[in-house]
């Protein structure tokens, strides 16, 4: 398997450009919080021969594949099987931290993982297949109200209530164990006019994946922990793929870049100065060339910040 043929890292050159000022010193440490198949890390290890990499991933398959890809750097890398909300344990004093959020190419491309609504497979969706509840178990055990809640909250799905009701009715007849079965139910539940607006399963599958992997709860803890762990002068780059992720990142960066001085204070004391400087203007998007070359770049929103003051 040639990883370069199946995995094109999103916004690679921009990530390198943003992280470069923090990675030039000898002994700089880069933490790739979402290692995946190692595409971004490989490029950064090649271009900055003096850095060390700490690569985190909850997916054991991803760690194995990345380990093979990065084997020639074995003296400069440490790979860790963990969820990225544990980043504080692995990133203290880091020079650069990279998050490439959402579902990975590996998970999408391996049909048996159940992430893709376009491929019939067991409804699993666990990023870490060694533990946790599957999407099939969510579909089988959640109440109608809870299904509606996750479809609304994590999928921003307007037909959440209708989909939840159809799922409850269908599972009373027989278990829903495969992605193809769930897709058929969702299509049957979707009015023709709504089907023209996009695939009925897209938002429901996103919501199930987020629920199964507790993605937003994990992210809400991980970004502030990563920001605290960075060394002064260190940089954090985060790529999000849907609005819920991006909103959490935007809020965390804004909090870090805000003064904590009480309103009306005539002079800002040093301890109230912002700890971060935001170095991107809003959320950056992939350009037309990259979107055409790599369709997975289409929804990306990139934000970056630099630590300018030590933690209080």
Q: Where does the pLDDT of residue 268 fall: very low under 50, low under 70, confident under 90, or very high at 90 and above?
A: low
pLDDT value at position 186?
97
Average pLDDT over residues 178-200: 92
Q: Are 186 and 204 a contacting pair, CB within 8 Å?
A: yes
* pLDDT of 7 strictly over 70: no
pLDDT value at position 1?
44
* pLDDT of 202 strictly over 80: yes
Give the separation between CA 267 and CA 265, rounded to whole angstroms: 6
Residue among 273, 276, 269 nearest 303 (CA): 276
- In the block, tokens 């630099």 appear at 306
According to CATH, where is 3.40.50.150 located in the chain? 3-106+215-307
**239 three-class SS:** strand
Whether this model's pTM surpasses 0.95? no
Q: Are 206 and 70 a contacting pair, CB within 8 Å?
A: no
Using CA atoms, how far residue 210 sits from 59, 125, 129, 154, in Å, is 15, 9, 15, 7
Does residue 100 have a known ligand-binding role?
yes
Average pLDDT, the chain: 93
pLDDT value at position 181?
97
**234 three-class SS:** strand
**Cα dihedral: 84, 99, 278, 206 (round 10):** -90
Most confidently predicted of 115-119, 166-170, 295-299: 166-170
For the stretch 249-258, pLDDT in tens is: 999 999 999 9
Does residue 180 have a known ligand-binding role?
no
DSSP state of 89: G
CATH ID of 108-213, from 1.10.150.170, 2.60.40.1220, 1.10.760.10, 3.40.47.10: 1.10.150.170
Average pLDDT over residues 199-212: 94
262-281: b (≥16 Cβ within 10 Å) or e:
eeeeeeeeeeeebbbebbbe
CATH ID of 3-106+215-307, from 3.30.300.30, 3.40.50.300, 3.40.50.150, 3.60.20.10: 3.40.50.150
Does residue 90 have a known ligand-binding role?
no
**257 three-class SS:** coil
Question: From its phi and psi, is residue 268 left (phi > 0), alpha (psi between -120 and 50) or beta?
Answer: beta
pLDDT value at position 248?
97
Residue 190 neighbours by CB distance under 10 Å: 20
Q: Where does the pLDDT of residue 195 fall: very low under 50, low under 70, confident under 90, or very high at 90 and above?
A: confident
For the stretch 98-121, pLDDT in tens is: 999 988 777 777 777 888 898 899
**293 three-class SS:** helix
Main-chain dihedrals φ then ψ at residue 222, nearest 5 degrees: -70, -40
Q: Are 109 and 6 a contacting pair, CB within 8 Å?
A: yes
For the stretch 65-100, pLDDT in tens is: 999 999 999 999 999 999 999 999 999 999 999 999
Residues of the chain with pLDDT > 70, as a percent, come to 95
Does residue 107 have a known ligand-binding role?
yes
Residue among 2, 131, 159 nearest 65 (CA): 2
Average pLDDT over residues 153-163: 96
Residue among 200, 210, 198 nearest 241 (CA): 210
DSSP state of 238: E
pLDDT value at position 264?
66
Positive or negative, the Cα torsion across 64, 70, 72, 76?
negative
According to CATH, where is 1.10.150.170 located in the chain? 108-213
Beta strands 230-240 and 94-100, pairing class: parallel
Q: Are 54 and 32 a contacting pair, CB within 8 Å?
A: yes
Q: Residue 289: in which H helix or E strand, if any?
A: helix 288-293
Main-chain dihedrals φ then ψ at residue 102, nearest 5 degrees: 80, -165
Give the separation between CA 267 and CA 285, rounded to whole angstroms: 38
Does residue 5 have a known ligand-binding role?
no
Positive or negative, the Cα torsion across 240, 241, 244, 247?
positive
């Amino acid at each position: 398997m040639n990883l370069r043929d199946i995995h094109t890292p999103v916004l690679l050159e921009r990530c390198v450009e943003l992280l470069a000022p923090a990675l030039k010193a000898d002994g700089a440490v880069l933490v790739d919080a979402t290692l995946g198949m190692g595409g971004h890390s490989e490029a950064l290890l090649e271009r900055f021969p003096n850095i060390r990499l700490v690569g985190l991933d909850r997916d054991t398959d991803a760690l194995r594949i990345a380990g093979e890809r990065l084997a020639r750097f074995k003296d400069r890398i440490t790979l860790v099987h963990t969820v990225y909300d544990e980043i504080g344990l692995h990133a203290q004093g880091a020079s650069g931290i990279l998050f490439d959020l959402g579902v990975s190419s590996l998970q999408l491309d391996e049909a048996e993982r159940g992430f893709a609504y376009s491929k019939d497979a067991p409804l699993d969706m666990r990023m870490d297949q060694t533990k946790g509840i599957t999407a099939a178990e969510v579909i089988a055990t959640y109440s109608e109200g809870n299904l509606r809640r996750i479809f609304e909250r994590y999928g921003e799905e307007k037909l959440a209530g209708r989909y939840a009701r159809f799922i409850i009715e269908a599972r009373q007849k027989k278990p829903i164990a495969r992605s193809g079965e769930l897709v058929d139910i969702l299509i049957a539940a979707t009015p023709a006019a709504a089907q023209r607006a996009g695939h009925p399963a897209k938002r429901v599958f996103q919501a199930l994946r987020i629920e199964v992997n507790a993605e937003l709860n994990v992210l809400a803890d991980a970004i502030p922990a990563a920001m605290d762990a960075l060394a002064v002068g260190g940089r954090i780059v985060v790529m999000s793929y849907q609005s819920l992720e991006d909103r959490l990142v935007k809020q965390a960066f804004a909090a870090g870049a805000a003064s904590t001085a009480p309103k009306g204070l005539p002079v800002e004391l040093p301890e109230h100065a912002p700890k971060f400087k935001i170095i991107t203007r809003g959320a950056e998007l992939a350009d037309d060339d990259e979107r055409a070359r790599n369709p997975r770049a289409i929804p990306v929103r990139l934000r970056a910040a630099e630590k300018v003051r030590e933690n209080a």
